[in-house]
């Protein structure tokens, strides 16, 4: 019991300077965003000031464990500091593989954010994003979460081709009611901006939902973000070779 109390009173895990967010993150392009707000909601600001004033300890999320070897999906925690408040994201990655389809619904359910990724250098992969979103939304209520459509590997294409692919992707994103981003993991282009955007929207959603319920905002306890990377990675990692079926 004392050990549990001591764990709860530990200071927040160190957050690198690169993960500190104060200003509300901008979208990739206004034409591809459904969230055109430029600042935090006043309720979010109030909750953050209140938490900082009371110096609430960071509570480690009870689900913060490594599932890679046992259930065949990637799972990781990303920590940020938003408006002075420690905040962690649970990121689940089903990798878009058919052999994990029978367990994927358990990880889609209750997501704050759904990210569907396609390969900018393979336009056919864009068509698959609708299918993965449909699968994810079977376990979530409409308008219950933020949806992102992300095109990656922009470094493999000349600028003109990137722009053409973006136009096609933004049309799909509009149908999906998703916010579009184009990134490159190799060069790092827009990667930080994207994750800051995701973290900020999930953070504020968490606060506003708790505020509506009349309970203290449970910020800092971990928020689930479900990610389907589709054809982003070629091949299967050693941790994801087990099939559930």
Strand order in the sheet with 74-82: 20-21, 74-82, 85-93, 223-228, 113-119, 146-152, 179-182
Residue 49 has pLDDT above 90, yes or no: no
Residue 121 has pLDDT above 60, yes or no: yes
Mean pLDDT of the chain: 75
Residue 3 has pLDDT above 80, yes or no: no
8 Å CB contact between 58 and 84: no
Mean pLDDT to the nearest integer, 171-195: 95
CATH among 3.40.50.300, 3.20.20.150, 3.40.140.10, 3.20.10.10 for 28-233: 3.40.50.300
Mean pLDDT to the nearest integer, 191-203: 93
More confident residue, 223 or 93: 93
Residue 22 has pLDDT above 60, yes or no: yes
Mean pLDDT to the nearest integer, 17-26: 92
Sign of the Cα torsion 103, 150, 202, 83 reads positive
Percent of the chain clearing pLDDT 90 (strictly above): 35
User: What angle (nearest 5°) sits at the alpha carbon of residue 40, between those of residues 216 and 81?
Assistant: 70
pLDDT of residue 106: 74
Domain ranges of the chain: 28-233
H-type alpha helices, 138-190: 159-176
User: What angle (nearest 5°) sits at the alpha carbon of residue 208, between those of residues 59 and 39?
Assistant: 105
Residue 168 has pLDDT above 70, yes or no: yes
**For tokens 């990724």, what's the residue?**
117
Q: How confident is the model at residue 222 (pLDDT cuts 50, 70, 90)?
A: very low
Q: What is the DSSP letter of 240?
A: G
Residues 6+ apart with CB under 8 A from 231: 96, 117, 118, 119, 122, 125, 128
3-state secondary structure 97-143: CHHHHHHHHHHHCCCCEEEEEEECCCCHHHHHHHHHHHHHHCCCCCC
pLDDT of residue 53: 60
The whole-angstrom separation of Cα 145 and Cα 129 is 17
Q: Could you report the per-residue pLDDT of 94-116, keeping only the tens digit for each? A: 766 666 667 777 777 788 899 99
Q: How confident is the model at residue 12 (pLDDT cuts 50, 70, 90)?
A: low
């Amino acid at each position: 019991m004392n050990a549990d109390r001591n764990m709860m009173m530990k200071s927040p895990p160190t957050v690198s300077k690169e993960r500190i967010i104060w200003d509300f993150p901008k979208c990739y392009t206004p034409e591809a965003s459904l969230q055109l707000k430029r600042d935090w909601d006043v309720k979010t600001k109030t909750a953050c000031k209140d938490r900082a004033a009371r110096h609430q300890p960071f509570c480690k999320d009870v689900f913060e464990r490594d599932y890679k070897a046992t259930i065949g999906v990637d799972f990781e925690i990303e920590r940020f500091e938003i408006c002075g408040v420690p905040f962690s994201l649970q990121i689940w990655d089903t990798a878009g593989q058919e052999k994990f389809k029978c367990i994927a619904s358990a990880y889609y359910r209750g997501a704050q954010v759904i990210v569907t990724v396609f390969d900018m250098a393979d336009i056919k992969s864009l068509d698959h994003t609708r299918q993965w979103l449909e699968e994810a939304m079977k376990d979530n209520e409409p308008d219950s979460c933020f949806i992102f459509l992300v095109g990656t590997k922009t470094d493999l294409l000349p600028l003109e081709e990137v722009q053409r692919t973006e136009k096609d992707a933004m049309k799909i994103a509009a149908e999906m009611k998703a916010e579009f981003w184009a990134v490159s993991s190799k060069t790092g282009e827009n990667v930080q901006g994207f994750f800051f955007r995701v973290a900020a929207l999930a953070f504020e959603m968490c606060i506003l939902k708790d505020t509506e319920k009349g309970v203290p905002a449970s910020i800092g306890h971990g928020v689930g973000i479900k990610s389907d990377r589709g054809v982003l990675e070629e091949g299967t990692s050693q941790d994801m070779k087990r099939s559930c079926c």
